[in-house]
A and B are shown apart, each in its own frame.
Chain A
Amino acid sequence: MQTNTALINVQPLHRWVIQHSHLSAVCDWLIDHIMAFNEPVILLVVGATGTGKSTLLKILRKRLDALLAESMRCDTSRLASVAAETFFVPGRGPDWRCLFHDLLTDANDILVDRKVIDGTNRAGSTLPALHSACIKMIRHRRPAAVLLDEGGALVEAGTKGALAKNLSFLKSISNRSACHLVVLGDYSLVKLGSMNGQLNRRCITVHLSPYANNEAEDFSKIVSGFQYRLRDSGVECDLSNSNGLLLERSCGCVGLLARWLSEALIHSRRNHSPLNDDALRKTMAPDGAFKVWQMEINRGITALREFEGVRN
């Protein structure tokens, strides 16, 4: 009976936001870089799925809000950051219109559907109008950084022309808005730096790495964190003997770990059993999925090594 009541409290386990050592390190580095460097750069944060890129974005926004609070008190129109998620249209690449629309909406801009380009009379929010409006918004609102999630879509383009357009949009946002651009995405983002010399000069790649086998101690702390919180919520669980398994089968990715624990929790509830090694083994990802993740991480890390200047 205790389990059922507790489950109501812990069900949104996948929404738990955990800040761990890898995330903190990358976040600190990004904050230092954004606050210290005046020249606008494109910061590419790459990492495997589930390593906490979206969590990083949330934490980054909150910390920028706090750091710029003083400046925001003086300037009531200033924003600490603006963020949007890149949306991929199959065969066409990223939907820039949607992206600019989201950025303007995030900045609480007015009349997003009635944007015009200078000197024209047609109010219809065409792509150039939204692009221009977005750059103007960034110039006037002066955010410390523009954050783009799911940035992997930026390098996916149906044609060469589409890719060139993507690159030119990125360059123009970086140049004209004089603002740091933080793009978070999977390992395909690494390609961005190698596509164009001009872009390469402005890009800094940061790796949000999963926990490796030699970081078992750090990973066990995260597992303990989950265990304590589950126990606080009234869930009977014992994960102390499963550290090795959790590290291996989650590929060291905290997001995958959280998802796995969530499924194991549901399984244990159904069977009225505690959340232990057995429940974990029954709900772990199949070998095929595990291999795909592992392969993707390995391939990404190889690509990163080929590309010089990566901060790990």
Chain B
Amino acid sequence: MKSDFCIAPISDAKTDPVFLDTASEHEVRISVPPRSLLVGLIPKGLGTPHVESLFSYLLRLADAHAVRFVDLVQYVIGPIAYGPHIGNIRFYTCQRLQRGVSGGEIEAIERLTLQSRLRELTLGPAKNLKCAHVDYAQSRAWCPACILADEEPYERLVWQVKGVTHCPVHCIKLERACPECGALQNSSSFTVHIRKCMKCDADRMSRIDASHDPDDPGIWRSQECAKLLVWATSHQPGARLPFDIFRANLMTIYKAAGGWKPLARALGIPPTSFGWWKLGLGVPELEKILSIAWCANINVVDAFERELAVSEIRIRAIHSSIRKPRAYKRRLKINDSGLLLETLDDKIKTHPFERVFIKDVLTTLDVSINSPISLGAEFRNRLNAHNQKIRELRRHGFVWEVVIQLRTSILSVKSSGKAITAANVWKHGIKSGAWLLPRTRQIYSRMASMMNDNKPLRDPALRVPPDIRAFLDWRASKKGS
């Protein structure tokens, strides 16, 4: 309906005929709001832990209009969200919508459907609340039992949150791949459907693995995450989570656990992280918040809403951490490289320059470790012997010299076509002068003199490679600022 009112003829022509094309006295004007261009489907599960995701809503919308999802996005939502000159935004917008960005797309969909609470179908409210790093998983996940039980199937928002592994209702593990072809489901395909596989068109709900471990922490995590999302939507957009209460509770947990170390070990994070959070300098990720709540055996929402007493906290066993942290895994993988790589692992989090550089080194090492080699005890011993020097260098920011030396040695072995063994790495290191670079000697001597005579370490005459010089400049600028 184009106009916002309709004209109704009055039925008084039983005896006398009336002309309806002109006679306004025989008509009444009744106000009716304009009709929505898209069907105003009511989002499922609003205000509950089972709220629908925006992506699922759009899939249902496309189905209601009997058009493809991509067509709906490209020809209807896209022009309104981005204007008429949009080009081919098909893939881009699908990806963005899948991830539920709280940009112009949601406003466009709200305008088209005349629905007002579509923002709650995304992680937008949680992100607005600075519940840091709440993000979507890379691919879609689903619980076949929920989908089969639904009268009109829809995907829940909580399934799409990164780190959620179980269905909060059925407690079974969420599926991420098609049971027939094993393909992961994402939104970049032309054929996205709630039930069918985007690749082989098979029914993704054909198999249900109902077996589950009731003590699996993943179930608890999923249920708590669902509650947290609901709680986040109850706050105004832009409001901050009450982290003061969380910090106070963190201190209570600290008291109950008897220090940060056991807790850090259980969570698989360095104890220093707690210091940052405690001081309010950083905000833990959602995953970490869930892990802390799990270890302390408390509700996540309680951790934000009220100050807990020590008696309410029951620290779980150390080995009951929810999942092994990434850093721990990496250390296991490259344990043969010893202390140096452990240091690198810590350093990788600090600065983009270092991160790029160290990643490069780690890639080299990973390649060498994944190939059938053994960096055996001999190499480790020699490296340990070298650690004293490394520590000295590290104290003065010259750890990179050693990294370069190690990298040069390994690359030298690789380029010679020999097996990357400890003996070969060591031999080539000496041969290529990696360990005995005149520059390194200079550094060592300068360091010694600095320690003895308190002379400045950085001599402009010192020849350093450009990347090291860039690093030094960066450090100097940081210190200066």
Q: Please determine whether B8 and A66 come into contact, CB atoms closer than 8 angstroms.
A: yes
Contact B36 A76 (CB under 8 A): yes
In the complex, A110 has a CB within 8 A of chain B: yes
- The answer, yes or no, to whether A118 is at the interface (CB within 8 Å) is yes
Contact check, A114 vs B20: say whether CB atoms are below 8 A apart: no
A119 touches B201 (CB 8 A): yes
Find the B residue at minimum CB distance from A142.
Answer: B39
The answer to whether A116 and B68 touch (CB under 8 A), given A63-B9, A221-B17, is yes
Q: For chain A residues 49-65, which have a beta carbon within 8 Å of chain B?
A: 58-59, 62-63, 65
Interface positions, chain B 5-52, Cβ under 8 Å from A, are 6-9, 11, 13-22, 26-28, 30-41
Contact A110:B67 (CB < 8 A) given known A59-B9, A76-B114:
yes
Q: Evaluate contact between B6 and A65: CB separation under 8 angstroms.
A: yes
Residues from chain A with a CB closer than 8 A to the CB of B27 are: 62
Given A25-B14, A63-B11, A115 and B21 contact (CB-CB distance below 8 Å):
no
The answer to whether B65 and A21 have CB atoms under 8 Å apart is no
Query: Which residues on B sit within 8 Å (CB–CB) of A77?
Result: 35-36, 38-40, 113-114
- Contact yes or no, A108 B20, CB < 8 A: no
**Which one, A129-137, A150-158, A164-172, A202-210, is touching chain B?**
A129-137
Q: Which residues of A contact B6 (CB under 8 A)?
A: 62, 65-66, 69, 80
CB distance from A19 to the nearest CB of B (A): 4
In chain A between 169 and 191, which residues have their CB closer than 8 angstroms to a CB of chain B? none
Q: Size band of the A side of the interface?
A: 35 or more
With the chains together, A75 CA to B64 CA distance in Å?
16
Known: A17-B19, A114-B67. A79 touches B13 (CB 8 A): no
**Partner of A110 from B11, B30, B37 at Cβ < 8 Å:** B37
Q: How far is the CB of A247 from chain B (nearest CB, A)?
A: 14
Pairwise interchain contact B66-A133, C-beta atoms closer than 8 A:
yes
Residue numbers in A under 8 Å from B476 (CB-CB) = none
Q: A20-B13, A59-B9, A66-B28 are in contact. Are A76 and B65 (CB under 8 A)?
A: no
**Number of contacts between A and B (CB, 8 Å)?**
144
Contact B7 A116 (CB under 8 A): no
Collect the chain B residues with CB atoms within 8 Å of residue A221's CB: 15-17
A90 at the interface (CB under 8 A from B): no
A20 contacts which chain B residues (CB < 8 A)? 13, 17
Q: How far is the CA of A75 from the CA of B41 in the complex (A)?
A: 10
- CB < 8 Å neighbour of B71 from A19, A66, A111: A111
Residue interface mask A213-244, B partner, CB < 8 A = 1: 00000000110010001000000000000000
A115 to B67, Cβ gap below 8 A? yes
Within 8 A of B (CB), among A66-114: 66-67, 69, 72-73, 75-80, 108-111, 114
Neighbour of B33 across the interface among A76, A115, A117, A136, CB < 8 A: A76
* Interface SS, B side: loop
Which residue of chain B is the closest to A141 with respect to CB atoms? B39
Q: Is A291 close to B, CB under 8 A?
A: no
Known: A18-B18, A24-B11, A225-B17. A111 touches B191 (CB 8 A): no
Instruction: Choose from B17, B22, B35 the contact partner of A222 (Cβ within 8 Å).
Output: B17
| Inter-subunit contact A109/B65 (CB<8 Å) | yes
Option from A25, A62, A129 in Cβ contact (under 8 Å) with B66? A129
Give B334-373 interface residues, CB cut-off 8 Å to A. Answer: none
The answer to whether B30 and A136 have CB atoms under 8 Å apart is no
Q: Knowing A18-B20, A225-B17 are in contact, say whether A76-B8 is a contact too (CB < 8 A).
A: no
How would you classify the secondary structure of chain A's contact residues: helix, strand, loop or mixed?
A: helix
* Residue from B27, B36, B63, B67 having most chain A Cβ neighbours under 10 A: B67
Cβ A15 vs Cβ B21 within 8 A = yes
Indicate if the CB atoms of A140 and B18 lie closer than 8 Å. no
- CB of A285 within 8 Å of the partner chain: no
B269 CB–A CB distance under 8 Å: no
Q: Which residues of A contact B7 (CB under 8 A)?
A: 62, 65-66
Asked if A19 and B33 sit within 8 Å, CB to CB, the answer is no
B385: CB under 8 A from chain A? no
B76 on the A face (CB < 8 A): yes
Taking the complex as formed, is B173 at the interface, i.e. its CB lies under 8 A from any CB of chain A? no
Shortest Cβ gap from A13 to chain B (Å): 11
Checking B9, B20, B32 against A69 with a beta-carbon cut-off of 8 angstroms, the contacting residue is: B32
A100 to nearest B CB, angstroms?
11
Instruction: Write the nearest CB–CB distance from B24 to chain A, whole angstroms.
Output: 13
B17 touches which one: A21, A27, A115, A119 (CB < 8 A)?
A: A21
A256 to B19, CA, bound (A): 16
Residues of B within 8 A of A72 (CB): 32-33, 35
Contact B39 A19 (CB under 8 A): no
Complex contact A21–B15 (CB within 8 A): yes
A3 to B472: give the CA distance in the assembly, Å.
100
How far does the Cβ of B292 sit from chain A's closest Cβ, in whole Å?
Answer: 45
**Contact residues in B for A16 (Cβ distance below 8 Å):** 19, 21-22
Among residues of B, the one whose C-beta sits closest to the C-beta of A60 is B9
Which residue numbers of B lie inside 8 Å of A, CB to CB?
1, 6-9, 11, 13-22, 26-28, 30-41, 63-68, 71-72, 75-76, 113-114, 190-191, 193, 196, 201
* Interchain Cβ contacts under 8 Å between A and B, 20 examples: A16-B19, A20-B17, A21-B15, A24-B13, A59-B20, A65-B30, A65-B32, A66-B6, A67-B8, A72-B33, A77-B40, A109-B65, A110-B72, A123-B71, A132-B66, A136-B65, A137-B65, A221-B17, A225-B17, A229-B19
Contacts A21-B15, A136-B64, A225-B16 aside, 8 further interface pairs with beta carbons under 8 A come to: A15-B21, A21-B13, A23-B13, A62-B27, A76-B33, A78-B35, A111-B75, A140-B39
Q: Which 5 A-B pairs have the closest CB atoms?
A: A66-B8, A133-B66, A65-B6, A77-B40, A19-B13
